[in-house]
Amino acid sequence: MHAIRIPDYAVKAALARRGKLHLYERIDGPRTALVVVDMQNAFMLPGMPAEVPVARAIVPNINKLAAATRSAGGTVAWVQMTIQDEFDSWSTWFHHFMSEERRPAMLKALSRGAPGHALHGELETKPTDLFVEKTRYSAFIQGASDLDSVLRKRGIDTVAIVGTLSNVCCESSARDAMMLNYRTIFVSDANATLTDEEHNATLANILQVFGDVASTEEMIARFVRS
């Protein structure tokens, strides 16, 4: 688990901007979605090309949050990064941000149907949950997935972001969710990345201008049924 410490400058900036540290002290269960980002074998299992070791440690918190969200009448959405055979539409990433050695390994791991594409076996999913594929870091950016339209049809106005990597797909999704007018909560001990420094920098970014930051227990304690 990450050693969580939100920098003092971020706390002071958040207080100066909005006058309080926490934005959403009561969370309407039926209007809330827990968005679980990229908790797939490609990021979870030892030796995989995108392994994030800390991601294995947050599985219990994600399962606890999923159970609490369902109990409160909310939606649990499991989001899976998917790399298509032809990725020319995002060639900037596919051809420039991955080495020639890494590219085929990532394609193999995150292609639909591959073992790496599957959700980690210790995650407690339910048939009634949502299962969504995305093709960009953010699950909410235009064209990446249908998550936004599905959540809106369900009357969702609040999203809690959990998963991996904190500072890449999770932060990107949180930023876009807020700018699409969702009340956005980033769960501090249910996100994971490669270092504490990167994780805490993301918490600072979110707290200052993109949403609320709460622990698993704080998130659960805020649920109410409308």
Q: Which of 28, 33, 44, 39 is nearest to 66 (CA)?
A: 33
Catalytic residue at 38?
yes
Side-chain-facing half-sphere of 166: CA atoms under 13 Å: 31
* Residue 20 known to be catalytic: no
Burial class (CB in 10 A: 0-12, 13-18, 19+), 91: exposed
Indicate which residue of 28, 148, 169, 170 is catalytic. Answer: 169
Residues 6+ positions from 200 with CB-CB distance below 8 Å: 2, 4, 5, 6, 7
Name the token pair of 71: 């109990």
Q: Which two tokens stand for residue 199?
A: 């994780």
Query: In terms of residues, how long is the chain?
Result: 226
Q: Are 182 and 207 in contact (CB under 8 A)?
A: no
Per-residue exposure over 119-135, b if at least 16 CB sit within 10 Å of its own CB, e if not: bbeebeeeeebbebbbb
Choice among 28, 64, 126, 134 that is catalytic? 134
Is 169 an annotated catalytic residue?
Answer: yes
Dihedral angle sign, alpha carbons of residues 175, 181, 187, 191: negative
User: What positions carry a catalytic annotation?
Assistant: 38, 134, 169
